[in-house]
Each structure stands twice: as C-alpha cells, then as structure tokens.
Chain A
Amino acid sequence: MILETLKQRVMILDGSMGALLQGRGLPAGYAPDLWNLENPEAIRAVQHEYAQAGADILLTNTFGASRRRLAEYDAYGKLKDINEAAVVIARKAGGPNILVAGDIGPSGTTVQPFGEISFDEAYQIFREQAAALIAAGVDLLAIETMFDLQEMKAAIMACNDVRGKTPLMAFMTFTQDGLADTGTDPETAAAMMESLGVDIIGANCSTGPEHMHPVIEIMARSTKRPIAVQPNAGLPIQKDGETVFPMAAEPMAQWAPKFHQAGANIIGGCCGSTPEYIRRIAKMLKGKPPAPRTYREGLRITSRMKTLIIGPGHPFRILGEKINPTGRRKFAAAIAEGRMDLVVAEARKQLESGADALDVNVGVPLTDEPMLMGKAIQAIQNVVDLPLVIDSSYIEALEQGLINYPGKALVNSINAEQERLDLIFPLVKKYGAAVIALCAEDEIPESALVRVKNAERILKEAEKHGVRKEDIIFDPLALVVSAMQAASAQTLETIRMISRDVGNPTSLGLSNVSFGLPNRSIINQTFLSMAVSAGLDAAIMSPYEEELKQALSAASLFAGRDPDCKRFIDLQTTIQAEKAAARAESGPKTTEQTIYDTIVEGDRDSIEGLIHKALAEGSDPFHLFVNVMTPGIRHLGDLFGARKRFIPHLVAAADTMKRGVAILTPLLEASGKIEHKGTIVMATVKGDIHDIGKSVCAIMLRNFGFSVYDLGRNVPMETILAAADEHSADIIGLSALMTTTMMQMKVVADVVKEKRLPYKVLVGGAVVTPRFATEIGVHGYSKDVGDCVQAAEALLEGRTVGLLTGAPT
C-alpha cells in the first residue's frame, strides 16, 4: 500500500525521539527503548505530537531494541515485549491512518570481514528483532543509521527472511564527506540495497541537510526505488554536558523542497528535529507528487565502496581472469596450502593493468573450496577496491564468497539447465548478486537462435525465482574456433540478437576462442574487436596484454563506448611516453661503463650477469673493484651529498655493490689484493630489536673494505666487548631506536673509557642525536646510512665525527 501511495505523493516521516524523551525525564545514557515498558505514555505523547504535526509514518521506539544493545541493560529477556509494546504505542499514538514502521538500528558492534562478529551472528541479531516487529503487526520495517555495508546486508537479508510482503525501508548513514564510515559511496549503497530487494532506499543521521542533499541526489540517480531522507538538525555541539543540534525548525524545513526536487519521496528528520519541523515540512510538501528522476541504465556490480555499470553506452569492461589455478602449479599449490599471497599479488597486478573487476576462482581439486573462496574474497578486498566475480562450480563455494563480500558481486555462473537454475538463482536472490548466464544447457547449441531461446528461458526462470532481469548478464558462449568454426561465428550473431532483442548486457570468456591455435594473440584481438562491434559489453580476459587492450580501445571507438575518443587518446599518449623513455635510455656502452651505471642506479638484478660478462671479457677483478665499482659507489655518495640522490639510492646501490663484490671476493682473496681498511663490531643494544639501518650500514662498510662483525640485536654490553676483543676491533658501532634503550650506549661507552679499551665508539639510530652522543662521551655519531662510511673512516684517522663542537676527543 505504501509503495502505491508513493507513486502518487510524497509522504512525511517523523522526527527525533531521544531529545524529546530527555525533556520528559529520560536520564542521560539510559536506553529509550526500555521506556516502551517503563513509561509508555511518554513515548506515546511524543509520537502523538508527530502524528498531529502531519507525519504519515511513525518509527517505533526500537532503535536499540536488539539482542546486544538490550543486553547492556540486562534487558535481553524482554526483547519481544519491548518491540511489541513499541508497535502498540505507535498505533495508539498515530491512530488508524498512520503507518507504523518497525525501527531497527545497528547491532552495536562491527561485522566481519571488517569487524568483530560473524555475518551469521549479525544476521541472527537482526532476524530476531525483525521477527518480533513483524509479529507485532508493523506496516513496514525500517533499518536505519547503518554505518557499514556488510552490516546493512545482514540486516536486509534477515528482514527478507521474515517480512513476507511487508515493505522494507533502509537508511545508510554518511559523513560530511559523502561517504559511509567504511568508505561506501551513496551510489554503491543504493545499488546494493536495491539488489537485495529493499523497497525504499534512503540516508539518515550523521549530517545536517546541507551535507545530506548531495547524497540524496546521487542515490536518486542510482536506483529506481523510492527515496527517503532524514537529516539531523545541523552538526551537533556540546552544551552544558549535553549534545544539542542547533539548527532551528524553519531553516531546516527550507531544505525539504530541495530534497523533494532531488527525488526524495519520504522526508522526515533525525537527531535534533522536532514536531515543529515536521509541521512545517508537512505544510510544504503534503500531497505533492514525486519529482521526476533520471536513472543511468545498466547492470550494476559493486565493491564495498564503488560501483561498476556494465552495458551499452558505458566503457567496455575488462573482468580480469588471472585469479585461476588451472594450469598453474605454483599458484594452485599456494591456494591448496591456504596461502593467499599469490592471489593478492595477482589481484594487485590486474588492478594496476587496468582490470575493471576481478574473476576469483580458487578451484583446486581435493581442497576445501568453500573455505578457500571465503579466504580469497576477504584477502582480495583488503587490497583491491574492484567489484569481484565469484567463480565456482560448487554452490557452497559461491555462498562462502557471497557471505564474505559486502558489495554486490557477480556470480559466475548459471546456464539454462533446470537443476543449475534452481540451485543458483535462490542464492543470487538471497545475496542480492548479479549473475552471468550461459546461453546453453548441457549441450552447446550451434545456432544463435537456440542460444537466444535459452536466454529467454533463463529470464523466465529468473522471474519465477524473483531475480531481476537487470541483474543478469548473458554469456553467448565463446567457442574454440579451431574445433567449432561455424558455431564460433554464431557467437557474434548471438551477441547482436541479445543486445537488440533481449536487452541485457553480454560478456564472454575471451581466451577460449583461440585455444589450440598458434598466434593466439591475434585471434583474441580480432575476435574481441568483432564482438565489441556486435555489442559485447564485457569479457573475462587477461588485462596484461597490451596489444589486446589497444585493439579493444580502437574497437570501442566504433561502438559508442568512448565519447570524443578520450580514452583512446589517453592510452596512446601513455604508450608514446613510455616508448620515448625507453629510447632515451639505450645507447652503446662498454660492460665496465654499464657496471658503473648499474651500481649508481642500484640495479641489483643486473649486476651479477654484468660482472660475469666483464670477467669473461678479460677484466681484472681488482681493476673492476677499485676502478669501476668503487668509483661508482663514491660517485653516488657525491650525488647524495649534493642532494641529487637520496638514501634509497644508497641502499639499493650498496646491495648492488655487495652482490657484485660477492663474485669478486674469492678472486681478490686468491690474488692477495683485497684491501682491509679496519674492523668494526656492530650491535643493536640490549633491550632493542631494531636493526635494519644497522644491517644496511654493515653492507656499506663491507663494500668499502671494512671487516664487519654484526652481533645482531638485543646485545648486552659484555657480549659486545668480548666480540671487540676477539676480533681486535678498531670501532664498536652501536644502534638504538628507543628512548628506553639508548642509555645502553652510555653503559658501553663508560666501560670503554674506564678500562681504557682501544676501541672507538660510533653511535646511530632514530632517537640518537649529536647532543646525546656528545654527552655520553662516544667518539662519533652517524646520522644515517648516508654517512656511516665517512664516519668510520674519520674515526680510523683519529678524528671525532658528528659531535657537538668542544667535545673531548
């Protein structure tokens, strides 16, 4: 009934409850829900005021009347009674013409994968309360003030389970920057809520009308469902120990017509709003027809935060195919062990290569695929904010993927077989997903006509299962052209017919077509271009092949998918720039010149091959070390000193030099020509466990001819001095990164001084300063890896280094 009414006119929702109850004696911090039993008259009085002011819909006083929230007040046992009482009160307050909406607030905790409790636990919490409200006879359910899309999903699914034909309204809450707490944008929230069957979609709380207005504009463009809005009375302030919302009824009410124009069908108020505000907006808007809205057509899938639209007029979408263990031994082994590092790396690489969504297949034989799918979905969405395509032959794996995914996923796939339709459509409906539908039954049809008939049958079955036409993307079947040449060509005709006659978007698995033939790349490129021209909207394909992406980009120009050729031009500009950079780098050089450059550039992957090459060409090892590599690293040091290069360059160069020197060392030792500058014992002091900087210094010192004994970390004074004695050290190098451990440096320095030991003490680390080094009486301070070699060399020459002037030597 409400849905029919909303087609004709705007409806008015009520305003805030909490502040008005506090005015009637509700103690600060006390749950208003408890007054449904303890002081029902106060609730009734507030709601009666709203009804009198013109509200068409009253929210029950049950925002916190769910399991965990009530348990905070030891009132969980009264959950049913509290919710039931709230409905009775609202009916009494509003009279026969009022609609009573059963209000469901957040669970009071966070939901996995982002949060604490499992999806199922959240679902049960919401189901319990929704069932109580439905049993009490509400006219609709209203989920409100949801911060997180996954929690919203659990709430909607729970309500769907118990509400039958009772309408469902759901509000997401957005901050001043127009996003939900966990980053979801309004378009994504609307798309997800609509696909889960929410009847009225809205935003409430957290912000005043000024910040909520753009949210409503976006939502109204992103769904065909009625829109509801409940802003706060401005941004809150603290006054005399209480939170107050300063916006008065009149300025707040001025926003109501703007919300109406933006597309809102139901308008009310949240925190700080009053019956006076409701009275004013009812006067302005009561009876007004809904404003016209525009809607961007297309199949929508979402990540937690962003929406992707697939369909005519939108760019062609690349669904990255690379998360798939088929034929990949190492990848499959990692998945079988439960390791997701390769899956995550592949997800990142596909994102960086331009994929618009990612197909996720973790089907390794003899593994727990449902568990692995859940794990993979969780791991991927932590690092990549693309919509995901959940790809499995097993319904349990599909379901685990959907449970762990807050957004609106694309399920891969169903076909026209009755068994598969009956198995998977309910899952798609339950989780609000979209689905890829193959235009085949158990046999692959040769002709386009039969495939299109299959598509039409799938749509009929979808309707029976309550799956919307707009959530289905058809796969016209990319067949192996070498085996089924005629049928493969019919795929293009199928695309044309579905686009023209059925009206749904299409997608296919591209790589199939070229299987078994040489030069697969050109076949894939040609077929893709032809398919784009026939109307194909997306493909499961590799995002790594540059030529394929270029062909796609060019084909899109003729398919209405690249207005003003902008994307094509941008792509070509990037490619030309990369080619120019590559050309600038090349030029004839000797091997020794290349070694020098490789060290300066810190290219550790190339150095070993180059050293071997130089030796094979007859270069003397000592000459290479002294006249090529050492000048290279010193030149880099000069560049560092001139602030043209930075510490990362030093670190990369040090590692590069180390790898080169490792090849030369046996040859230098055999020739007796190895230079020994001095001996240094290094340690991170007792109680401290940081040592990366020290390890880098150790390499740099070795590169410059020092013998370095690195004792590791958390090293007591006695061990340091024993090692210095054992190795006849010239220098003791100490590292500390904490204010709680740096005094250990003084312990070492004091013993060296008292016992007149022959070592120079050099200190460094993030918390160490020249002042500290001077005060504890060491011989040198090294700021970072950039000057540790010069510092050590200075100490060998008998100088102090890095200390404040006037320090004793």
Chain B
Amino acid sequence: MHTVKSRGAQPVVIRSIPFQIEEKRVLRELRIPRLKYVKELEEEGVAKSIKRAIDRAYTKILGQGCYRTINIKETRQDRVTTEESENLFIGSNMVKLLSRCDHATLLATTIGPALEQLIEDLKQDDVADAYFLDVVGSWMADYMADRVDAIVQTEIHRAGYERTMRYSPGYGDWDLTVQAELLRLVGADVIGVSCTETSILQPRKSVTAVIGWERKA
C-alpha cells in the first residue's frame, strides 16, 4: 500500500539534502565546454579557483526543501484555480501546463544563507573567488530543486500520473509576482525562504516551482 505524503495541509519538509558537486556541471555552468573535470583545465590558476569554490561550497551549503500537493479545481481561459488559491496559476503558460492535471505539487528549495554570506565577504578583496562561488551556488540551488523534484516525481508515478515539466515563477508569462503566494502556500518559511517586495528569493540561492500531476493519455 502506498500513501501520498504531500497531500496534507502541512508541507513535507526535507531538512538536510545530501549533495555532491559535480565538476562537470560546474564547468558547464561556467560555460567551459567539453571538460568533465576541473583538473582537465590547462590553466592551473583557473582550475585552482574553481576547485577552491567547490571546496568552500561543501562547507557552506545546507540544502533544505519543502513541498506540498494541492488539488486543481478549475481551468479557465486565463488561469487554473485551486482549492487554496485563485491567483497562483495565472497566465496562458499555466493553463497549458496544468489543464490536464488533477493535482499540482508546489516546491521550494534552498542551499541556505551561509554561501551567499561568504560571497559577500569575499567580494571586497576576492571578486574572482566570489564569482566562482556564486556560479557554484546557482548550480547547487538548481541541484537541490532536482533532488526534491525526484522525490515528488516518485509520488506522482506511484499515484498513477505522469509529471509535467517543472515550472518556476518568471518562466513564460507566469509572472514573478506570484512568488509570495507560492511561498505562502508551500509553507516555505519552515525552511527559511521568503521573498523581497521585488520578488527576489531570500536566501538568493533558492528555487520555487510547480510540477503538475497529469492524467496519463
């Protein structure tokens, strides 16, 4: 027998997400093509800087996430409504994403504030180090979202649905201004994630998103 953990009023919270920083992915984020390992870089100075950023990131990242599955109520021309909110899934992209869905999982993840604090500390005298650390942090924010995404996908499949792509505020015509509403509904304060008046997530290396539960064709 299985149960769907996330379909309650409280989010499912994941406190310490184990992680590995893949050098290949960091190099890709840095737009350095074709290399799999930092040690393959001919320029030793650049390699050292990237390695230093990765090593530092390991000591600063604390991955956390939360997710909650809500029920889709109605699909209209300009939005998809849920039992919890009429103003979350607004726009034609949301209609396209969720029109064949019975449920949607909201998720929020973060790597925590410590890495961005280190970036601030480094910026004065070590801008290159701050830059590389920033890139690693951005990749790892996505990584944490990928980890939670995988758990959500398992729930979706167990319940006999297909998943939609993962969609974040700011994509397409899903306006960034829904951020506050999304954070409220997913209960992201439990992992320390909020947003500014201009919808910037805090800590900055955080991700919010929705994944739809689509009926199989």
Binding site for B on A (CB under 8 A): 16-18, 63-64, 72, 105-106, 108-110, 112-116, 144-145, 173, 175-176, 181, 183, 205-206, 235-238, 241, 243-244, 270-271, 304, 340-342, 344-345, 348-349, 378, 381-383, 385, 585, 598, 600-606, 645-649, 651-652, 654-656, 658, 687-693, 695-696, 698-699, 738-741
**B58 and A108 form a contact (CB under 8 A):** no
- How many angstroms between the C-alpha atoms of A18 and B2 in the bound complex? 10
**A110 and B14 form a contact (CB under 8 A):** yes
Interchain nearest-CB distance for B181 vs A (Å): 15
Interchain nearest-CB distance for A750 vs B (Å): 19
A-B pairs with beta carbons under 8 Å apart, 6 shown = A114-B16, A205-B2, A244-B160, A382-B63, A646-B30, A740-B198
- How many angstroms between the C-alpha atoms of A693 and B135 in the bound complex? 10
Interchain nearest-CB distance for B169 vs A (Å): 10
Interchain nearest-CB distance for A73 vs B (Å): 12
A652-B46, A739-B170 in contact; A105/B1 too (CB < 8 A)?
Answer: yes
**A688 and B198 form a contact (CB under 8 A):** yes
Q: What residues of A have a CB within 8 angstroms of the CB of B13 in the complex?
A: 110, 115-116
Interchain nearest-CB distance for A229 vs B (Å): 15
- How many angstroms between the C-alpha atoms of A550 and B112 in the bound complex? 40
A63-B1, A341-B60, A689-B196 in contact; A238/B154 too (CB < 8 A)?
Answer: no
Q: Is B90 among interface residues, defined by CB-CB distance under 8 A?
A: no
Q: What residues of B have a CB within 8 angstroms of the CB of A109 in the complex?
A: 5, 12
Interchain nearest-CB distance for A228 vs B (Å): 15
Interchain nearest-CB distance for A211 vs B (Å): 11
**A692 and B1 form a contact (CB under 8 A):** no
Closest to A17 in B: B1
A236-B158, A243-B159, A341-B60 in contact; A112/B1 too (CB < 8 A)?
Answer: no
Closest to B161 in A: A238
Q: What residues of B have a CB within 8 angstroms of the CB of A241 in the complex?
A: 102
Q: Nearest 7 A-B pairs (CB), nearest first?
A: A603-B45, A655-B128, A236-B160, A341-B59, A602-B45, A687-B198, A601-B43
17 further A-B contacts with Cβ under 8 Å, apart from A651-B128, A654-B127, are A105-B1, A144-B1, A175-B157, A181-B154, A236-B158, A236-B160, A382-B61, A600-B43, A648-B32, A648-B132, A687-B197, A688-B200, A689-B204, A691-B123, A695-B123, A696-B127, A698-B127
Q: What residues of B have a CB within 8 angstroms of the CB of A18 in the complex?
A: 1
- How many angstroms between the C-alpha atoms of A652 and B53 in the bound complex? 12
Q: What residues of A have a CB within 8 angstroms of the CB of B55 in the complex?
A: 345, 348-349
Interchain nearest-CB distance for A805 vs B (Å): 27
Interchain nearest-CB distance for A251 vs B (Å): 18
**A692 and B123 form a contact (CB under 8 A):** yes
Closest to B128 in A: A655
Interchain nearest-CB distance for B97 vs A (Å): 17
Interchain nearest-CB distance for A394 vs B (Å): 24
Q: Is B88 among interface residues, defined by CB-CB distance under 8 A?
A: no
- How many angstroms between the C-alpha atoms of A521 and B127 in the bound complex? 40
Q: What residues of A have a CB within 8 angstroms of the CB of B46 in the complex?
A: 601-602, 648-649, 652
- How many angstroms between the C-alpha atoms of A654 and B45 in the bound complex? 12
In B1-54, which residues have CB < 8 Å from any A CB?
A: 1-3, 5, 8, 12-20, 30-33, 42-46, 48-50
**A690 and B204 form a contact (CB under 8 A):** yes
Interchain nearest-CB distance for A404 vs B (Å): 10
Q: What residues of B have a CB within 8 angstroms of the CB of A304 in the complex?
A: 18
**B177 and A740 form a contact (CB under 8 A):** yes
Q: What residues of A have a CB within 8 angstroms of the CB of B12 in the complex?
A: 109-110, 116
Interchain nearest-CB distance for B67 vs A (Å): 11
Q: Is B199 among interface residues, defined by CB-CB distance under 8 A?
A: yes
- How many angstroms between the C-alpha atoms of A649 and B134 in the bound complex? 15
Q: What residues of A have a CB within 8 angstroms of the CB of B86 in the complex?
A: none
- How many angstroms between the C-alpha atoms of A604 and B16 in the bound complex? 34
Q: Is B189 among interface residues, defined by CB-CB distance under 8 A?
A: no
Closest to A686 in B: B198
**A654 and B128 form a contact (CB under 8 A):** yes
**A183 and B18 form a contact (CB under 8 A):** yes
In B114-170, which residues have CB < 8 Å from any A CB?
A: 119, 123, 126-132, 134-135, 151, 154, 157-161, 170
- How many angstroms between the C-alpha atoms of A425 and B127 in the bound complex? 53
Q: Is B184 among interface residues, defined by CB-CB distance under 8 A?
A: no
Q: Is B76 among interface residues, defined by CB-CB distance under 8 A?
A: no
Interchain nearest-CB distance for B182 vs A (Å): 15
Q: What residues of A have a CB within 8 angstroms of the CB of B119 in the complex?
A: 692
Interchain nearest-CB distance for B109 vs A (Å): 14
- How many angstroms between the C-alpha atoms of A340 and B155 in the bound complex? 34
A238-B160, A270-B1, A656-B45 in contact; A348/B58 too (CB < 8 A)?
Answer: yes
- How many angstroms between the C-alpha atoms of A241 and B103 in the bound complex? 11
A113-B16, A382-B19, A696-B128 in contact; A646/B32 too (CB < 8 A)?
Answer: yes
- How many angstroms between the C-alpha atoms of A382 and B140 in the bound complex? 13
Closest to A741 in B: B198
Q: What residues of B have a CB within 8 angstroms of the CB of A110 in the complex?
A: 5, 12-15
Q: Is B96 among interface residues, defined by CB-CB distance under 8 A?
A: no
Q: What residues of A have a CB within 8 angstroms of the CB of B127 in the complex?
A: 651, 654-655, 658, 692, 695-696, 698-699
- How many angstroms between the C-alpha atoms of A451 and B196 in the bound complex? 66
**A238 and B123 form a contact (CB under 8 A):** no
In B51-88, which residues have CB < 8 Å from any A CB?
A: 55, 58-63
Q: What residues of B have a CB within 8 angstroms of the CB of A692 in the complex?
A: 119, 123, 127, 130-131, 134
- How many angstroms between the C-alpha atoms of A78 and B191 in the bound complex? 33
**A271 and B2 form a contact (CB under 8 A):** yes
Q: What residues of A have a CB within 8 angstroms of the CB of B126 in the complex?
A: 655
Closest to B66 in A: A116
Interchain nearest-CB distance for A274 vs B (Å): 14
**A604 and B45 form a contact (CB under 8 A):** yes
- How many angstroms between the C-alpha atoms of A598 and B44 in the bound complex? 9
Annotate B171-182 by CB proximity to A: 1 below 8 A, 0 otherwise. Answer: 000001100000
Name which of B61, B102, B196 has the most chain A CB atoms within 10 A of its CB: B196
A110-B14, A601-B44, A649-B46 in contact; A385/B1 too (CB < 8 A)?
Answer: no
Closest to A242 in B: B160
Interchain nearest-CB distance for A578 vs B (Å): 9
**A385 and B18 form a contact (CB under 8 A):** yes
A341-B59, A646-B31 in contact; A108/B5 too (CB < 8 A)?
Answer: yes
Interchain nearest-CB distance for B86 vs A (Å): 22
A601-B46, A648-B30 in contact; A236/B14 too (CB < 8 A)?
Answer: no
**A652 and B45 form a contact (CB under 8 A):** yes
**B43 and A602 form a contact (CB under 8 A):** yes
A345-B59, A385-B18 in contact; A652/B154 too (CB < 8 A)?
Answer: no
**B15 and A112 form a contact (CB under 8 A):** yes
- How many angstroms between the C-alpha atoms of A654 and B46 in the bound complex? 11
**A206 and B2 form a contact (CB under 8 A):** yes
**A383 and B204 form a contact (CB under 8 A):** no
- How many angstroms between the C-alpha atoms of A643 and B204 in the bound complex? 31
Closest to B49 in A: A652
Interchain nearest-CB distance for A96 vs B (Å): 27
Q: What residues of A have a CB within 8 angstroms of the CB of B204 in the complex?
A: 689-690
**A106 and B20 form a contact (CB under 8 A):** no
- How many angstroms between the C-alpha atoms of A106 and B3 in the bound complex? 9
**A738 and B132 form a contact (CB under 8 A):** no
Q: What residues of B have a CB within 8 angstroms of the CB of A270 in the complex?
A: 1
Closest to B151 in A: A181
- How many angstroms between the C-alpha atoms of A237 and B196 in the bound complex? 41
**B15 and A601 form a contact (CB under 8 A):** no
**A381 and B18 form a contact (CB under 8 A):** yes
Q: What residues of B have a CB within 8 angstroms of the CB of A601 in the complex?
A: 42-46
**B159 and A236 form a contact (CB under 8 A):** yes
